Structure 1
Amino acid sequence: MSQIIILKGTSSDTRFPLENGAGSDAVHLTPIYAYAICNLQTNTNLVGTGLAFTLGTGNKLVCDAIDYLVKHIEGKDIEDLMADFGTYYKAMSDDPNFRWLGPHKGVVHLALAAVVNACFDLWAKSRQVPLWKLLIDLSPEALVNTLDFSFYEDVLPKEEALTLLKQQQNGINERSNILKDGYPGYDTSIGWFNYSDEKVAENIKKAMDKGFTAMKLKVGSKEASRDLRRAELVRTIAGDAATIMFDANQQWNLPQAIDICHELKKLNPYWVEEPTHPDDVFAHVELANQTNVKIALGEHVPNKIIFKNFMQSGCMSFNQVDAVRVGGVSEFILISLLSKKFNIPVVPHVGDMGQIHQHLVLFNHITINHPVVLLEHIPHLRDKFKHPAIIENGRYLVPQEPGMSSDLL
């Protein structure tokens, strides 16, 4: 195999304004879906494309940080780089000129996500396989070498992660049956915050016609009565057998969250998502103890350390780690491994619109032996990707093109 050298990394600021209330939630009322993109040019015609997700303003700051971080990987052969990627990851995440701005959060960590994702995309393209197959085919040793275990030594040292992966080798063939039918999805777009009740009702019926049996409503209104009315609407139309979730996007303080979760619990939600401030571990613990609702969180958890703390606390029922929010695929895998140890299912938030995570949930199930749960589906940027995710009868079909499906038109 001829060498594929990363000659230069560049960034691009790409933004997609949404219309008619799409993408709105209790906090982000007029979102602009945006990607800070890292492009890795090589000595071949292959280009690695990595995404970090923002909501428009600030996207350029992430791009500026990408342009700085790529110096760590320029001039490297992709196979040599990925053979010891955990070391390079640590060097980028701990860059002394940027660490003061984090550490490991905010603009600089989003930039790291884009660079890391571009490396994994290029690696898969160089081997001419989709990302899910690249990851599944890696030996446990090769996989752990892509990870940075710093500050995980107390909960998941490298040796333990290696043992965990080896233990899951049995059953891989059986779990690979997921490749025949694809991964089940849930429809997040039925109930954006700014949609009218009539629009929500119409969208529920459309989603069910498309084969979705799981769907999510945005809550977090200033008047709790609005949330409860709309939540009851979803349950009534979708029916008792449907899986429904409610997402507050961090809008409630703890007393508010306790009160409304007691009411929402009557509707048998699969989870309540991001009920309060995403950094407040103890508030989530108190909420779980007082209401016994299942809590999903992770969309705004910035790094592996806060994920570690949430898992240790016992309040997290579903782990929504997002590879375009934390430090890319590498950190996603590390967090998934810890989540397996704590027996917490991974149900990613999809800032990538499911393009990358359709690969990662297959890897999580087949290699790590995470249970098959659901993958969020958001359709609004589907026509912006060269190889958009394909949903049939409510399931993500298995992508076949080399890479991580992150190339935009």
Structure 2
Amino acid sequence: MRVTEVSARAFRLPLHRAWDGGVDRNDLVVVRVATDEGLVGTGFSWTPLIGARAVAALIADDLRPALLGRRADPSLWDELRWHLREAGTSGLTLMALAGVDIALWDLVARRAGLPLVELLGRRREEAECYGSGVNLDYPLPDLLEQVAGWVAAGHRAVKVKVGSPAVARDAERVEAVRDLVGADRLLMVDANQRWDVPGAVRALAVLEEFDPYFVEEPLPAGDLGAHVRLRARTRVPFAVGENLRTVEEFERFIDEGVCDVAQPNVVRVGGITPFMRIAESAARRSVPVAPHLLPELSGQLALCLPRVGMVEDIDRASLAALGALAVPSGVRLERGRVSADTGPGHGLVFSGGLAPVP
């Protein structure tokens, strides 16, 4: 099965409510890889706000020529990354490579007549998921309404944003959420890289009272040394990884003892191929993987991981919730659990009526 055509188009998905910092949309790059057997695989890349057209251009201008006539197989990943090296080996190049890699996995699964989960190797029928929102700027009543919705939906774990200029505001909000969800549910907090080391020490000393299951991205994501210094000054476990990109980066953070839960984003790391490598490496180090966002694909991957954490059920911002899908994917997030029955491939069929990125 050989590649005969590769296409990439960028589309805009307005959010139902803006995320912190004025993020009012997610952009989606839909990738299609056609073959001489008539099969077409679908992939995608994704980004809030920045870079969708650049990703599409990398695919059309640089990955397409490298793929035409080649075997349609995700084993090309390392070769394609090397091909893109002059544009960098991280960032936008990995996001472009993700769209192609996901499409190639879809193709291979379709050709085999298997759901992606079965092709990768299903390890479980369900995985736990947690309610999550980008809600630091929500007034407290709005935050509690959102969390109450997750509880009503059956979630046994929830995550809220912290990192307010005043620690007292974060403490008030986290205390109110803890009172709402009760002592038997997991409560996580996410600082989105807003603290420095002294600020994180002060904030976590206060927030420890509310028994956070983990703190996500307490510090600038790439500052390994700062995480090591903070590790010595708090007992709260760290979840990191949505802004790490490579197997080597994850291994460094885990080996230094500052990644208790790994959170790779399947697009940002370059696709399914490197995502599974990261998961295998983390499992060898006894660290669970909790995939970041994109639950329709992350949920499928979670069913195949050797050591799984939880899947992020982002409030009203899944591909389905944003109107990106033409038909249901077969991935179900119900009563705090995720399951998948997709038919051949990954089951993601994108709508033909999406608005292009201007």
TM-score, with length taken from structure 1: 0.80
Structure with bigger strand share is: 2
Kept in 1, the 8 Å contact 2:244–2:250? The answer is: yes
Q: Which residue type is aligned with residue 9 of structure 1?
A: V
- Distance in 2 (alpha carbons) for counterparts of 1:406 and 1:324: 15
Q: How many residues align?
A: 344
Give the C-alpha shift of residue 44 in structure 1.
Answer: 4.5
The answer to whether 1:184 aligns with 2:125 is no
CA apart distance, 1:10: 1.0
- Tell me if structure 2 keeps the 8 A contact 1:51–1:406: no
Structure 2 residue corresponding to 1:333, chosen from 232, 252, 276: 276
Deviation at 1:74, TM superposition (A): 2.0
Mapped partners of 1:408, 1:224: distance in 2: 42
Q: Which runs of 5+ in 2 are unaligned?
A: 352-358
The answer as to 2:67 corresponding to 1:73 is yes
**Residue deviations 1:192-213, cap 9 Å, x none?**
2232211111122221111111
- 2: CA distance between counterparts of 1:407 and 1:192? 29
Residue by residue over 1:69-110, the C-alpha shift from the partner in whole angstroms, topping out at 9 and shown as x without a partner, is: 1322222343xx34xx1xx22221112xx42432x2111111
Task: Sort the Cα spacing of 1:183 and 1:105 in 2 relative to 1 into closer, same or farther, 3 A.
Answer: same
Match of 2:229, SS state, is helix
333, 337, 341: which is aligned to 1:391?
333
Matching residue within 94, 98, 101 for 2:82: 94
Paired residue for 2:156? 213
| Cα 1:119/1:198, change in 2 over 3 Å | same
The answer as to whether partners of 1:295 and 1:317 remain within 8 angstroms in 2 is yes
**Quick one: structure 1 residues 268 and 59, their matched pair in 2 at CA, closer, same or farther if it must change by over 3 Å?**
same
Tell me the CA shift for residue 116 of structure 1.
1.0
**SS at 1:20's partner residue?**
strand
1:357 aligns with 2:298: yes
Shift of 1:374: 1.4
Distance 1:234 1:289 in 2: 27
Partner of 2:218: 275
CA distance in 1, matches of 2:93, 2:200: 31
Return the alpha-carbon distance in structure 2 between the equivalents of residues 400 and 109 of structure 1: 26
- Alignment pair present for 1:8 and 2:5: yes
Query: Which residue identity is paired with 1:128?
Result: G
What RMSD over aligned residues (CA atoms) do the two structures have, in Å? 1.7
Quote the offset at 1:122 in angstroms.
1.2
Output aligned runs, 1:3-402, within 5 Å. Answer: 4-21=1-18, 24-25=19-20, 28-67=21-60, 68-78=62-72, 81-82=73-74, 85=75, 88-95=76-83, 98-102=84-88, 104-136=89-121, 176=123, 178-179=124-125, 182-189=126-133, 192-350=135-293, 352=294, 354-364=295-305, 368=306, 370=307, 372-378=308-314, 379-380=316-317, 381-382=319-320, 383-385=323-325, 386-388=327-329, 389-402=331-344
Aligned to 2:346: 404
Deviation at 1:45, TM superposition (A): 4.6
- Equivalent residue letter for 2:9: S
In the alignment, the residues of structure 1 paired with residue 164 and residue 106 of structure 2 have an alpha-carbon distance, to the nearest angstrom, of 39
Report if the CA contact (8 A) 1:36-1:59 is conserved.
yes
Deviations 1:170-216 (A, max 9, x none): xxxxxx5x32xx22110113x62232211111122221111111111
Deviation string 1:101-157 (CA, Å, 9 cap, x unpaired) is: 32x2111111111111111111112212211100118xxxxxxxxxxxxxxxxxxxx
Q: Given that residues 14 and 35 in structure 1 are in contact (C-alpha distance below 8 angstroms), is that contact kept between their aligned partners in structure 2?
A: yes
Q: Percent identity?
A: 29
Deviations 1:355-390 (A, max 9, x none): 1111111111xxx3x1x4311112323242233432
Structure with more helix by fraction: 1
Query: Structure 1's 9 and 210: CA in aligned 2 closer, same or farther, altered over 3 A?
Result: same
- Cα distance between partner residues in 2 of 1:203 and 1:57: 27
Q: Contact conserved, 2:167 with 2:203, CA < 8 A, in 1?
A: yes
Q: CA deviation at 1:46?
A: 2.9
In the superposition, the TM-score normalised over structure 2's length comes to 0.91
The alpha-carbon distance between structure 1 residues 313 and 408, as it changes in their structure 2 partners (threshold 3 A), is same
